[in-house]
Structure 1
Amino acid sequence: MDIKGRLAVAVLRLVGRLPLRWSRRLGWLTGHIAVLGRGESLRVTRINLQLCYPTMEAEARERLARHSVVQTALTGFEVAGIWQQPWSRSEDQIVRVRNQQLLTERTDRGQGLLVLMPHIGNWELFGMYLSTLGPSTALYAPPKVAALDPLIRSGRQMNGAHMVPTSIRGVRALLKALKAGEMVMVLPDQEPDSGGDFAPFFGQPALTMTLAHNLLQRTGCRCVFGFAKRLRDGFELVLLPAEQSIYAAEQKVSLAAMNRGVEACIASAPDQYQWEYKRFRRGPRGRTHRYRKG
Protein backbone atom coordinates (compact mmCIF):
# COMPACT_ATOMS: atom_id res chain seq x y z
CA MET A 1 0.00 0.00 0.00
CA ASP A 2 1.47 3.38 -1.02
CA ILE A 3 1.62 6.44 1.21
CA LYS A 4 -1.38 8.05 -0.50
CA GLY A 5 -3.44 4.92 0.07
CA ARG A 6 -2.43 4.61 3.72
CA LEU A 7 -3.29 8.24 4.35
CA ALA A 8 -6.68 7.95 2.66
CA VAL A 9 -7.60 4.85 4.68
CA ALA A 10 -6.39 6.43 7.93
CA VAL A 11 -8.45 9.59 7.36
CA LEU A 12 -11.58 7.66 6.48
CA ARG A 13 -11.24 5.40 9.50
CA LEU A 14 -10.74 8.38 11.79
CA VAL A 15 -13.68 10.34 10.37
CA GLY A 16 -15.81 7.20 10.45
CA ARG A 17 -15.63 7.15 14.24
CA LEU A 18 -17.19 10.58 14.59
CA PRO A 19 -20.88 11.21 15.31
CA LEU A 20 -22.89 12.45 12.33
CA ARG A 21 -23.01 16.03 13.60
CA TRP A 22 -19.20 16.21 13.81
CA SER A 23 -18.55 14.60 10.43
CA ARG A 24 -20.99 17.10 8.94
CA ARG A 25 -19.18 19.99 10.60
CA LEU A 26 -15.93 18.83 9.05
CA GLY A 27 -17.65 18.43 5.70
CA TRP A 28 -19.14 21.92 6.00
CA LEU A 29 -15.70 23.37 6.74
CA THR A 30 -14.05 21.46 3.89
CA GLY A 31 -16.78 22.50 1.47
CA HIS A 32 -16.46 26.16 2.34
CA ILE A 33 -12.70 25.99 1.93
CA ALA A 34 -13.29 24.52 -1.54
CA VAL A 35 -15.67 27.37 -2.37
CA LEU A 36 -13.23 30.01 -1.14
CA GLY A 37 -10.44 28.34 -3.13
CA ARG A 38 -12.53 28.53 -6.31
CA GLY A 39 -11.32 25.10 -7.37
CA GLU A 40 -12.35 22.70 -10.11
CA SER A 41 -15.53 21.50 -8.38
CA LEU A 42 -16.96 25.00 -8.20
CA ARG A 43 -15.89 25.81 -11.76
CA VAL A 44 -17.58 22.72 -13.24
CA THR A 45 -20.66 23.18 -11.06
CA ARG A 46 -21.09 26.73 -12.38
CA ILE A 47 -20.86 25.50 -15.97
CA ASN A 48 -23.43 22.75 -15.41
CA LEU A 49 -25.87 25.06 -13.65
CA GLN A 50 -25.57 27.60 -16.46
CA LEU A 51 -26.45 24.86 -18.95
CA CYS A 52 -29.29 23.36 -16.90
CA TYR A 53 -30.82 26.53 -15.42
CA PRO A 54 -30.18 29.21 -18.05
CA THR A 55 -33.15 31.34 -16.97
CA MET A 56 -32.29 31.33 -13.26
CA GLU A 57 -31.08 34.66 -11.92
CA ALA A 58 -27.29 34.80 -11.79
CA GLU A 59 -27.21 35.50 -8.06
CA ALA A 60 -29.47 32.54 -7.27
CA ARG A 61 -27.46 30.26 -9.55
CA GLU A 62 -24.19 31.27 -7.88
CA ARG A 63 -25.72 30.64 -4.46
CA LEU A 64 -26.87 27.19 -5.63
CA ALA A 65 -23.38 26.41 -6.97
CA ARG A 66 -21.73 27.25 -3.65
CA HIS A 67 -24.27 25.30 -1.64
CA SER A 68 -23.82 22.30 -3.93
CA VAL A 69 -20.04 22.16 -3.41
CA VAL A 70 -20.58 22.21 0.36
CA GLN A 71 -23.26 19.51 0.17
CA THR A 72 -20.96 17.24 -1.82
CA ALA A 73 -18.29 17.64 0.84
CA LEU A 74 -20.86 16.69 3.47
CA THR A 75 -21.60 13.49 1.58
CA GLY A 76 -17.93 12.56 1.50
CA PHE A 77 -17.55 12.90 5.25
CA GLU A 78 -20.84 11.14 6.01
CA VAL A 79 -20.05 8.00 4.04
CA ALA A 80 -16.88 7.39 6.02
CA GLY A 81 -19.09 6.61 9.01
CA ILE A 82 -21.80 4.81 7.04
CA TRP A 83 -19.29 2.35 5.58
CA GLN A 84 -17.81 1.51 8.98
CA GLN A 85 -20.42 1.90 11.70
CA PRO A 86 -22.98 -0.81 12.54
CA TRP A 87 -26.08 -0.55 10.37
CA SER A 88 -28.24 0.07 13.46
CA ARG A 89 -26.46 3.39 13.94
CA SER A 90 -27.01 4.44 10.33
CA GLU A 91 -30.62 3.27 10.47
CA ASP A 92 -31.25 5.54 13.44
CA GLN A 93 -30.32 8.49 11.21
CA ILE A 94 -33.24 7.76 8.85
CA VAL A 95 -36.02 10.11 9.91
CA ARG A 96 -38.64 8.81 7.48
CA VAL A 97 -39.16 6.99 4.19
CA ARG A 98 -41.42 8.68 1.65
CA ASN A 99 -43.52 6.53 -0.70
CA GLN A 100 -42.24 3.26 0.74
CA GLN A 101 -45.25 1.52 -0.80
CA LEU A 102 -43.47 1.71 -4.15
CA LEU A 103 -41.17 -1.00 -2.80
CA THR A 104 -43.83 -3.18 -1.21
CA GLU A 105 -46.06 -3.09 -4.29
CA ARG A 106 -43.51 -4.93 -6.40
CA THR A 107 -42.96 -7.43 -3.58
CA ASP A 108 -46.65 -8.25 -3.60
CA ARG A 109 -46.51 -8.94 -7.36
CA GLY A 110 -43.31 -10.95 -7.15
CA GLN A 111 -41.63 -8.82 -9.82
CA GLY A 112 -38.03 -7.77 -9.96
CA LEU A 113 -37.42 -4.12 -9.14
CA LEU A 114 -34.93 -1.77 -10.79
CA VAL A 115 -34.11 1.13 -8.48
CA LEU A 116 -32.51 4.10 -10.24
CA MET A 117 -30.44 6.10 -7.75
CA PRO A 118 -29.21 9.50 -8.96
CA HIS A 119 -26.24 11.13 -7.20
CA ILE A 120 -28.35 13.14 -4.78
CA GLY A 121 -27.75 13.50 -1.05
CA ASN A 122 -26.26 10.35 0.41
CA TRP A 123 -26.76 7.58 -2.15
CA GLU A 124 -24.57 5.19 -0.13
CA LEU A 125 -27.04 5.24 2.76
CA PHE A 126 -29.95 4.76 0.40
CA GLY A 127 -28.35 1.72 -1.22
CA MET A 128 -27.55 0.14 2.13
CA TYR A 129 -31.15 0.66 3.25
CA LEU A 130 -32.46 -1.11 0.15
CA SER A 131 -30.17 -4.04 0.92
CA THR A 132 -32.02 -4.64 4.19
CA LEU A 133 -35.28 -5.30 2.33
CA GLY A 134 -34.21 -8.43 0.50
CA PRO A 135 -31.71 -9.77 -2.04
CA SER A 136 -30.14 -6.92 -4.00
CA THR A 137 -27.44 -6.58 -6.65
CA ALA A 138 -25.44 -3.58 -7.84
CA LEU A 139 -22.54 -2.89 -10.17
CA TYR A 140 -19.22 -2.09 -8.51
CA ALA A 141 -16.09 -0.55 -9.95
CA PRO A 142 -13.02 -0.56 -7.65
CA PRO A 143 -11.84 2.94 -6.67
CA LYS A 144 -8.77 4.52 -8.24
CA VAL A 145 -7.06 4.40 -4.84
CA ALA A 146 -6.81 0.61 -4.50
CA ALA A 147 -6.25 0.77 -0.74
CA LEU A 148 -9.83 1.99 -0.28
CA ASP A 149 -11.36 -1.01 -2.01
CA PRO A 150 -11.72 -3.29 1.07
CA LEU A 151 -13.28 -0.51 3.14
CA ILE A 152 -15.79 0.53 0.46
CA ARG A 153 -16.64 -3.02 -0.57
CA SER A 154 -17.24 -4.19 3.00
CA GLY A 155 -19.43 -1.16 3.69
CA ARG A 156 -21.62 -1.65 0.64
CA GLN A 157 -21.94 -5.37 1.32
CA MET A 158 -22.68 -4.89 5.02
CA ASN A 159 -26.39 -5.65 4.64
CA GLY A 160 -25.97 -8.44 2.13
CA ALA A 161 -25.87 -6.57 -1.17
CA HIS A 162 -24.23 -8.50 -4.00
CA MET A 163 -21.57 -6.42 -5.80
CA VAL A 164 -20.84 -7.43 -9.40
CA PRO A 165 -18.25 -6.06 -11.87
CA THR A 166 -19.04 -3.43 -14.49
CA SER A 167 -18.68 -5.96 -17.30
CA ILE A 168 -20.76 -8.36 -19.37
CA ARG A 169 -20.57 -10.81 -16.47
CA GLY A 170 -21.96 -8.16 -14.13
CA VAL A 171 -24.82 -7.29 -16.48
CA ARG A 172 -25.73 -10.99 -16.68
CA ALA A 173 -25.88 -11.05 -12.90
CA LEU A 174 -28.27 -8.06 -12.93
CA LEU A 175 -30.52 -9.82 -15.44
CA LYS A 176 -30.52 -13.01 -13.40
CA ALA A 177 -31.43 -11.13 -10.22
CA LEU A 178 -34.32 -9.27 -11.83
CA LYS A 179 -35.70 -12.42 -13.43
CA ALA A 180 -35.61 -14.04 -9.99
CA GLY A 181 -37.80 -11.22 -8.61
CA GLU A 182 -34.98 -9.51 -6.75
CA MET A 183 -33.84 -5.89 -6.54
CA VAL A 184 -31.17 -4.24 -8.69
CA MET A 185 -29.65 -0.82 -8.02
CA VAL A 186 -28.27 1.35 -10.84
CA LEU A 187 -26.81 4.87 -10.84
CA PRO A 188 -28.40 6.39 -13.98
CA ASP A 189 -26.81 9.82 -14.29
CA GLN A 190 -23.24 9.33 -15.47
CA GLU A 191 -21.81 9.07 -18.97
CA PRO A 192 -21.35 5.40 -19.90
CA ASP A 193 -18.07 4.15 -21.30
CA SER A 194 -20.10 2.07 -23.74
CA GLY A 195 -23.74 1.28 -24.38
CA GLY A 196 -25.03 4.85 -24.44
CA ASP A 197 -27.23 7.10 -26.55
CA PHE A 198 -28.11 10.79 -26.40
CA ALA A 199 -31.25 11.97 -24.64
CA PRO A 200 -32.34 15.36 -23.27
CA PHE A 201 -31.25 16.23 -19.74
CA PHE A 202 -32.41 19.67 -18.63
CA GLY A 203 -32.82 20.47 -22.31
CA GLN A 204 -29.23 19.52 -23.16
CA PRO A 205 -28.21 16.43 -25.17
CA ALA A 206 -26.56 14.11 -22.66
CA LEU A 207 -24.91 10.77 -23.33
CA THR A 208 -27.17 8.45 -21.33
CA MET A 209 -26.72 4.82 -20.34
CA THR A 210 -28.89 2.27 -22.13
CA LEU A 211 -28.40 -0.35 -19.41
CA ALA A 212 -31.63 0.46 -17.57
CA HIS A 213 -33.67 0.34 -20.79
CA ASN A 214 -32.18 -3.03 -21.71
CA LEU A 215 -32.87 -4.46 -18.24
CA LEU A 216 -36.48 -3.29 -18.37
CA GLN A 217 -37.05 -4.71 -21.83
CA ARG A 218 -35.44 -8.08 -21.13
CA THR A 219 -36.98 -8.79 -17.72
CA GLY A 220 -40.34 -7.00 -17.51
CA CYS A 221 -39.35 -5.68 -14.10
CA ARG A 222 -40.76 -2.56 -12.47
CA CYS A 223 -38.79 0.66 -11.97
CA VAL A 224 -38.65 3.39 -9.34
CA PHE A 225 -36.32 6.28 -8.51
CA GLY A 226 -34.87 6.87 -5.07
CA PHE A 227 -32.40 8.94 -3.07
CA ALA A 228 -31.49 9.92 0.49
CA LYS A 229 -32.18 13.59 1.12
CA ARG A 230 -30.10 15.26 3.81
CA LEU A 231 -32.07 16.84 6.67
CA ARG A 232 -30.87 18.81 9.66
CA ASP A 233 -31.33 15.84 11.99
CA GLY A 234 -30.66 12.93 9.64
CA PHE A 235 -32.00 11.75 6.30
CA GLU A 236 -35.30 11.36 4.48
CA LEU A 237 -35.36 8.46 2.02
CA VAL A 238 -37.45 9.39 -1.01
CA LEU A 239 -38.94 7.07 -3.61
CA LEU A 240 -40.58 8.42 -6.76
CA PRO A 241 -42.46 6.49 -9.44
CA ALA A 242 -41.07 6.26 -12.95
CA GLU A 243 -43.03 7.57 -15.92
CA GLN A 244 -44.88 4.89 -17.85
CA SER A 245 -42.87 5.81 -20.95
CA ILE A 246 -39.69 4.52 -19.33
CA TYR A 247 -40.99 1.04 -20.27
CA ALA A 248 -41.33 1.98 -23.95
CA ALA A 249 -39.70 -0.37 -26.44
CA GLU A 250 -38.27 2.60 -28.33
CA GLN A 251 -34.93 3.33 -26.71
CA LYS A 252 -34.91 7.12 -27.13
CA VAL A 253 -38.36 7.42 -25.55
CA SER A 254 -37.26 5.34 -22.57
CA LEU A 255 -33.99 7.24 -22.09
CA ALA A 256 -35.75 10.60 -22.20
CA ALA A 257 -38.20 9.37 -19.54
CA MET A 258 -35.31 8.18 -17.37
CA ASN A 259 -33.60 11.56 -17.56
CA ARG A 260 -36.88 13.29 -16.68
CA GLY A 261 -37.08 11.01 -13.67
CA VAL A 262 -33.62 12.12 -12.59
CA GLU A 263 -34.69 15.75 -13.06
CA ALA A 264 -37.74 15.14 -10.84
CA CYS A 265 -35.48 13.78 -8.11
CA ILE A 266 -33.13 16.75 -8.40
CA ALA A 267 -36.09 19.14 -8.04
CA SER A 268 -36.57 17.84 -4.48
CA ALA A 269 -33.05 18.88 -3.45
CA PRO A 270 -31.17 20.70 -6.25
CA ASP A 271 -28.30 21.78 -3.98
CA GLN A 272 -27.67 18.16 -2.98
CA TYR A 273 -27.08 16.95 -6.53
CA GLN A 274 -23.50 16.17 -7.63
CA TRP A 275 -23.28 19.03 -10.13
CA GLU A 276 -19.47 18.90 -10.31
CA TYR A 277 -19.65 15.79 -12.52
CA LYS A 278 -18.86 16.60 -16.18
CA ARG A 279 -22.07 15.18 -17.60
CA PHE A 280 -21.86 17.05 -20.91
CA ARG A 281 -18.31 16.17 -21.95
CA ARG A 282 -19.55 14.56 -25.13
CA GLY A 283 -22.21 15.67 -27.55
CA PRO A 284 -23.76 14.05 -30.63
CA ARG A 285 -20.82 15.35 -32.71
CA GLY A 286 -18.04 14.39 -30.29
CA ARG A 287 -16.32 16.20 -27.46
CA THR A 288 -18.01 19.45 -26.54
CA HIS A 289 -15.08 21.25 -24.83
CA ARG A 290 -17.62 22.85 -22.50
CA TYR A 291 -15.34 22.26 -19.53
CA ARG A 292 -12.20 23.61 -21.13
CA LYS A 293 -10.41 26.12 -18.96
CA GLY A 294 -9.82 29.66 -20.16
Structure 2
Amino acid sequence: MKGRLAVGALQLIGKLPLSWSRRLGRFVGRVAVWTRSEGLRLSRINLAQCYPAMDPRQREKLARASVVNTAINGFEMANIWHHSWDTNKKTIVNVRNEKLLFQGKEDGRGTLVLMPHTGNWEIFGMYLAAMGPSMALYQPPKIEALDPVIRGGREKTNATMVPTNIHGVRSLLKYLKAGHVTMVLPDQEPDMGGDFAPFFGRPALTMTLAHNLIQRTNCHVVFGFGKRVEGGFELVFVPAEKAIYSDEQKVSLAAMNRGVEACIAQAPEQYQWEYKRFRKQPEGKSKIYRKKK
Protein backbone atom coordinates (compact mmCIF):
# COMPACT_ATOMS: atom_id res chain seq x y z
CA MET A 1 0.00 0.00 0.00
CA LYS A 2 2.81 2.42 0.92
CA GLY A 3 4.54 1.72 -2.37
CA ARG A 4 1.38 2.22 -4.43
CA LEU A 5 0.67 5.53 -2.70
CA ALA A 6 4.24 6.73 -3.31
CA VAL A 7 4.10 5.78 -6.99
CA GLY A 8 0.71 7.44 -7.38
CA ALA A 9 1.97 10.64 -5.78
CA LEU A 10 5.03 10.73 -8.04
CA GLN A 11 2.92 10.18 -11.13
CA LEU A 12 0.48 12.91 -10.13
CA ILE A 13 3.24 15.42 -9.36
CA GLY A 14 5.09 14.43 -12.52
CA LYS A 15 2.18 15.51 -14.70
CA LEU A 16 2.29 19.06 -13.37
CA PRO A 17 4.18 21.85 -15.16
CA LEU A 18 7.64 22.44 -13.72
CA SER A 19 6.55 25.81 -12.34
CA TRP A 20 3.77 24.17 -10.31
CA SER A 21 6.09 21.43 -9.07
CA ARG A 22 8.42 24.13 -7.79
CA ARG A 23 5.59 26.00 -6.08
CA LEU A 24 4.47 22.86 -4.27
CA GLY A 25 8.05 22.07 -3.29
CA ARG A 26 8.54 25.60 -1.99
CA PHE A 27 5.40 25.30 0.14
CA VAL A 28 6.50 21.95 1.60
CA GLY A 29 9.98 23.34 2.27
CA ARG A 30 8.60 26.35 4.11
CA VAL A 31 6.46 24.06 6.25
CA ALA A 32 9.60 22.06 7.07
CA VAL A 33 11.32 25.28 8.14
CA TRP A 34 8.33 26.44 10.17
CA THR A 35 8.10 23.09 12.01
CA ARG A 36 11.86 23.06 12.65
CA SER A 37 12.40 19.79 10.84
CA GLU A 38 15.36 17.47 11.31
CA GLY A 39 16.67 18.64 7.96
CA LEU A 40 16.87 22.20 9.26
CA ARG A 41 18.70 21.07 12.41
CA LEU A 42 21.28 19.15 10.38
CA SER A 43 21.70 21.99 7.89
CA ARG A 44 22.46 24.40 10.73
CA ILE A 45 25.10 22.04 12.11
CA ASN A 46 26.79 21.49 8.75
CA LEU A 47 26.81 25.16 7.86
CA ALA A 48 28.34 26.03 11.24
CA GLN A 49 31.09 23.51 10.49
CA CYS A 50 31.71 24.73 6.95
CA TYR A 51 31.18 28.49 7.35
CA PRO A 52 32.23 29.27 10.96
CA ALA A 53 33.14 32.87 10.07
CA MET A 54 29.80 33.63 8.40
CA ASP A 55 27.42 35.99 10.17
CA PRO A 56 24.98 33.78 12.17
CA ARG A 57 21.95 35.54 10.68
CA GLN A 58 23.22 34.94 7.15
CA ARG A 59 23.98 31.31 8.01
CA GLU A 60 20.45 30.81 9.36
CA LYS A 61 19.02 32.32 6.18
CA LEU A 62 21.16 29.93 4.13
CA ALA A 63 20.04 26.92 6.19
CA ARG A 64 16.38 27.76 5.64
CA ALA A 65 16.89 28.37 1.92
CA SER A 66 18.63 25.00 1.63
CA VAL A 67 15.71 23.16 3.24
CA VAL A 68 13.30 24.84 0.81
CA ASN A 69 15.49 24.05 -2.19
CA THR A 70 15.79 20.40 -1.15
CA ALA A 71 12.00 20.12 -1.07
CA ILE A 72 11.74 21.78 -4.48
CA ASN A 73 14.31 19.34 -5.81
CA GLY A 74 12.16 16.37 -4.77
CA PHE A 75 9.16 17.69 -6.67
CA GLU A 76 11.31 18.53 -9.69
CA MET A 77 12.61 14.96 -9.81
CA ALA A 78 9.09 13.55 -10.12
CA ASN A 79 8.53 15.97 -13.00
CA ILE A 80 11.76 15.00 -14.76
CA TRP A 81 11.24 11.23 -14.35
CA HIS A 82 7.71 11.53 -15.80
CA HIS A 83 8.48 13.52 -18.93
CA SER A 84 10.39 12.57 -22.07
CA TRP A 85 13.79 14.00 -22.94
CA ASP A 86 12.17 16.11 -25.67
CA THR A 87 10.16 17.84 -22.96
CA ASN A 88 12.88 17.97 -20.32
CA LYS A 89 15.51 19.46 -22.61
CA LYS A 90 13.29 22.51 -23.06
CA THR A 91 13.82 23.32 -19.36
CA ILE A 92 17.59 23.72 -19.92
CA VAL A 93 18.05 27.43 -20.51
CA ASN A 94 21.86 27.42 -20.67
CA VAL A 95 24.90 25.12 -20.56
CA ARG A 96 28.07 26.70 -19.18
CA ASN A 97 31.59 25.45 -20.01
CA GLU A 98 30.21 22.54 -22.04
CA LYS A 99 33.54 22.20 -23.86
CA LEU A 100 35.01 20.68 -20.69
CA LEU A 101 32.85 17.59 -21.24
CA PHE A 102 34.36 16.88 -24.63
CA GLN A 103 38.06 17.27 -23.78
CA GLY A 104 38.31 13.60 -22.86
CA LYS A 105 36.84 12.52 -26.20
CA GLU A 106 39.24 14.79 -28.05
CA ASP A 107 42.14 13.06 -26.27
CA GLY A 108 40.69 9.59 -26.86
CA ARG A 109 39.98 9.10 -23.15
CA GLY A 110 36.91 8.34 -21.10
CA THR A 111 35.37 11.10 -18.98
CA LEU A 112 34.53 10.88 -15.29
CA VAL A 113 31.89 13.44 -14.36
CA LEU A 114 31.70 14.19 -10.63
CA MET A 115 28.24 15.47 -9.69
CA PRO A 116 27.82 16.88 -6.16
CA HIS A 117 24.37 17.07 -4.57
CA THR A 118 23.87 20.65 -5.71
CA GLY A 119 20.80 21.82 -7.59
CA ASN A 120 19.12 19.08 -9.60
CA TRP A 121 21.36 16.16 -10.54
CA GLU A 122 18.58 14.28 -12.39
CA ILE A 123 18.34 16.80 -15.23
CA PHE A 124 22.14 16.96 -15.37
CA GLY A 125 22.45 13.17 -15.63
CA MET A 126 19.78 12.99 -18.31
CA TYR A 127 21.58 15.66 -20.32
CA LEU A 128 24.89 13.78 -20.15
CA ALA A 129 23.22 10.60 -21.36
CA ALA A 130 21.63 12.49 -24.24
CA MET A 131 25.11 13.62 -25.34
CA GLY A 132 26.22 10.00 -25.75
CA PRO A 133 26.39 6.66 -23.91
CA SER A 134 26.89 7.10 -20.17
CA MET A 135 26.95 4.94 -17.06
CA ALA A 136 26.27 5.61 -13.38
CA LEU A 137 26.07 3.70 -10.13
CA TYR A 138 22.54 3.08 -8.91
CA GLN A 139 21.22 2.06 -5.51
CA PRO A 140 17.56 0.93 -5.59
CA PRO A 141 15.21 2.88 -3.27
CA LYS A 142 14.04 1.40 0.01
CA ILE A 143 10.46 1.38 -1.31
CA GLU A 144 10.69 -1.33 -3.99
CA ALA A 145 7.69 -0.07 -5.97
CA LEU A 146 9.57 3.17 -6.75
CA ASP A 147 12.43 1.37 -8.49
CA PRO A 148 10.84 1.15 -11.98
CA VAL A 149 9.76 4.80 -11.77
CA ILE A 150 13.24 6.08 -10.88
CA ARG A 151 15.18 3.69 -13.09
CA GLY A 152 12.82 4.26 -16.01
CA GLY A 153 13.23 8.02 -15.66
CA ARG A 154 17.01 7.84 -15.55
CA GLU A 155 17.32 5.46 -18.48
CA LYS A 156 15.13 7.44 -20.89
CA THR A 157 18.18 8.58 -22.84
CA ASN A 158 21.42 6.57 -23.14
CA ALA A 159 22.16 6.09 -19.44
CA THR A 160 23.04 2.65 -18.08
CA MET A 161 22.54 2.07 -14.34
CA VAL A 162 24.82 -0.41 -12.57
CA PRO A 163 24.68 -1.59 -8.92
CA THR A 164 26.74 0.01 -6.17
CA ASN A 165 28.95 -3.05 -5.64
CA ILE A 166 32.15 -4.56 -7.05
CA HIS A 167 30.35 -5.66 -10.22
CA GLY A 168 29.16 -2.10 -10.84
CA VAL A 169 32.65 -0.71 -10.30
CA ARG A 170 34.06 -3.19 -12.81
CA SER A 171 31.47 -2.01 -15.32
CA LEU A 172 32.53 1.60 -14.75
CA LEU A 173 36.16 0.65 -15.36
CA LYS A 174 35.35 -1.05 -18.66
CA TYR A 175 33.18 1.86 -19.74
CA LEU A 176 35.85 4.46 -19.01
CA LYS A 177 38.54 2.42 -20.74
CA ALA A 178 36.27 2.28 -23.81
CA GLY A 179 36.24 6.08 -23.90
CA HIS A 180 32.73 6.68 -22.58
CA VAL A 181 31.25 8.95 -19.89
CA THR A 182 30.61 7.78 -16.33
CA MET A 183 28.95 9.67 -13.50
CA VAL A 184 29.79 9.50 -9.79
CA LEU A 185 28.32 11.42 -6.84
CA PRO A 186 31.49 12.35 -4.90
CA ASP A 187 30.11 13.91 -1.72
CA GLN A 188 28.55 10.99 0.16
CA GLU A 189 30.19 8.82 2.79
CA PRO A 190 31.34 5.71 0.92
CA ASP A 191 30.07 2.16 1.36
CA MET A 192 33.19 0.85 -0.38
CA GLY A 193 36.61 2.31 0.31
CA GLY A 194 37.16 5.67 1.94
CA ASP A 195 39.75 7.90 3.58
CA PHE A 196 39.56 11.18 5.46
CA ALA A 197 40.19 14.35 3.48
CA PRO A 198 39.51 18.04 4.18
CA PHE A 199 36.04 19.31 3.25
CA PHE A 200 35.67 23.01 4.05
CA GLY A 201 38.65 22.50 6.36
CA ARG A 202 36.99 19.68 8.33
CA PRO A 203 37.93 15.98 8.10
CA ALA A 204 35.29 14.11 6.08
CA LEU A 205 35.29 10.44 5.13
CA THR A 206 35.67 10.62 1.35
CA MET A 207 35.21 7.96 -1.30
CA THR A 208 38.34 6.57 -2.95
CA LEU A 209 36.40 5.22 -5.94
CA ALA A 210 37.02 8.27 -8.14
CA HIS A 211 40.76 8.24 -7.38
CA ASN A 212 40.97 4.52 -8.23
CA LEU A 213 39.08 5.01 -11.49
CA ILE A 214 41.38 7.86 -12.49
CA GLN A 215 44.52 5.87 -11.73
CA ARG A 216 43.37 2.77 -13.58
CA THR A 217 41.94 4.44 -16.70
CA ASN A 218 43.81 7.76 -17.18
CA CYS A 219 40.40 9.33 -17.73
CA HIS A 220 39.50 13.00 -18.01
CA VAL A 221 37.74 14.49 -14.95
CA VAL A 222 35.21 17.31 -14.78
CA PHE A 223 32.70 18.48 -12.19
CA GLY A 224 29.14 19.48 -12.97
CA PHE A 225 25.70 20.25 -11.58
CA GLY A 226 22.25 21.44 -12.63
CA LYS A 227 21.64 24.90 -11.18
CA ARG A 228 18.04 25.90 -10.53
CA VAL A 229 17.28 29.20 -12.29
CA GLU A 230 14.21 31.15 -13.34
CA GLY A 231 12.30 29.16 -15.96
CA GLY A 232 14.36 25.98 -15.72
CA PHE A 233 17.96 24.91 -15.25
CA GLU A 234 21.45 26.07 -16.09
CA LEU A 235 23.90 23.18 -16.44
CA VAL A 236 27.35 24.11 -15.17
CA PHE A 237 30.65 22.32 -15.84
CA VAL A 238 33.57 23.10 -13.54
CA PRO A 239 37.20 22.11 -14.30
CA ALA A 240 39.00 19.74 -11.95
CA GLU A 241 42.33 20.70 -10.39
CA LYS A 242 45.42 18.97 -11.76
CA ALA A 243 46.00 17.58 -8.27
CA ILE A 244 43.01 15.26 -8.69
CA TYR A 245 45.17 13.15 -11.03
CA SER A 246 47.90 12.73 -8.39
CA ASP A 247 49.19 9.25 -7.61
CA GLU A 248 48.97 10.15 -3.92
CA GLN A 249 45.49 9.29 -2.71
CA LYS A 250 45.23 11.99 -0.05
CA VAL A 251 46.30 14.68 -2.51
CA SER A 252 43.71 13.48 -5.04
CA LEU A 253 40.89 13.26 -2.48
CA ALA A 254 41.60 16.75 -1.16
CA ALA A 255 41.45 18.11 -4.73
CA MET A 256 38.16 16.30 -5.32
CA ASN A 257 36.62 17.85 -2.22
CA ARG A 258 37.83 21.29 -3.31
CA GLY A 259 36.09 20.68 -6.63
CA VAL A 260 32.86 19.94 -4.75
CA GLU A 261 33.37 23.17 -2.77
CA ALA A 262 33.82 25.10 -6.03
CA CYS A 263 30.46 23.80 -7.27
CA ILE A 264 28.73 24.62 -3.97
CA ALA A 265 30.13 28.16 -4.02
CA GLN A 266 28.12 28.90 -7.17
CA ALA A 267 24.78 28.06 -5.51
CA PRO A 268 25.28 27.36 -1.77
CA GLU A 269 21.54 27.52 -1.03
CA GLN A 270 20.99 24.65 -3.48
CA TYR A 271 23.37 22.22 -1.80
CA GLN A 272 21.94 19.33 0.24
CA TRP A 273 23.22 20.57 3.59
CA GLU A 274 21.03 18.22 5.62
CA TYR A 275 23.16 15.21 4.65
CA LYS A 276 25.35 13.94 7.53
CA ARG A 277 28.62 14.55 5.72
CA PHE A 278 30.68 14.49 8.93
CA ARG A 279 28.93 11.53 10.55
CA LYS A 280 32.10 9.45 10.75
CA GLN A 281 35.07 11.22 12.29
CA PRO A 282 38.69 10.28 12.99
CA GLU A 283 39.23 8.49 16.27
CA GLY A 284 39.02 10.83 19.22
CA LYS A 285 36.78 13.39 17.48
CA SER A 286 33.36 14.07 18.98
CA LYS A 287 30.12 13.33 17.13
CA ILE A 288 28.60 16.56 15.86
CA TYR A 289 25.06 15.39 15.03
CA ARG A 290 24.11 14.13 18.48
CA LYS A 291 20.97 15.81 19.77
CA LYS A 292 21.39 17.91 22.87
CA LYS A 293 19.35 16.80 25.86
Please give the TM-score of this superposition, normalised by the length of structure 2. 0.98
Letter in 2 for 1:19: P
State whether structure 2 residue 98 is matched by structure 1 residue 92.
no
Residue of structure 2 in register with 1:218 after alignment:
216
Residue of structure 2 in register with 1:54 after alignment:
52
Deviation at 1:110, TM superposition (A): 1.8
Residue of structure 2 in register with 1:170 after alignment:
168
Native 8 Å contact 1:280 1:288 kept in 2: no
Q: Cα deviation per residue 1:48-89 (whole Å; 9 max; x = unaligned)?
A: 000000000000000000000000001000010101101111
Aligned mates of 1:109, 1:150 — CA distance in 2? 36
1:73-152 superposed matches below 5 A: 73-152=71-150
Q: 1:179 to 1:67 in 2, by over 3 A?
A: same
Q: Cα deviation per residue 1:173-202 (whole Å; 9 max; x = unaligned)?
A: 000000000000000000012300000000
Aligned mates of 1:106, 1:280 — CA distance in 2? 33
Root-mean-square deviation over aligned CA pairs: 0.9
Secondary structure of the residue aligned to 2:131 is coil
Deviation at 1:97, TM superposition (A): 0.3
State whether structure 2 residue 244 is matched by structure 1 residue 246.
yes
Deviation at 1:284, TM superposition (A): 1.2
State whether structure 2 residue 70 is matched by structure 1 residue 72.
yes
Deviation at 1:105, TM superposition (A): 2.0
Deviation at 1:287, TM superposition (A): 7.4
| Structure 2 residues not aligned, in runs of 5+ | none
Secondary structure of the residue aligned to 1:194 is coil
Aligned mates of 2:103, 2:110 — CA distance in 1? 11
| Structure 1 residues not aligned, in runs of 5+ | none
Aligned mates of 2:48, 2:156 — CA distance in 1? 39
Aligned mates of 2:125, 2:285 — CA distance in 1? 32
Deviant stretches of 4+, over 3 Å: none
Q: Cα deviation per residue 1:89-118 (whole Å; 9 max; x = unaligned)?
A: 110000010000011222222210000000
State whether structure 2 residue 33 is matched by structure 1 residue 41.
no
Secondary structure of the residue aligned to 2:3 is helix
Deviation at 1:286, TM superposition (A): 6.9
Residue of structure 2 in register with 1:13 after alignment:
11
Secondary structure of the residue aligned to 1:138 is strand
Q: Cα deviation per residue 1:5-32 (whole Å; 9 max; x = unaligned)?
A: 1111111000000001100000000000
Aligned mates of 1:116, 1:288 — CA distance in 2? 30
Aligned mates of 2:88, 2:23 — CA distance in 1? 17
1:260-275 superposed matches below 5 A: 260-275=258-273
Aligned length: 292
Please give the TM-score of this superposition, normalised by the length of structure 1. 0.98
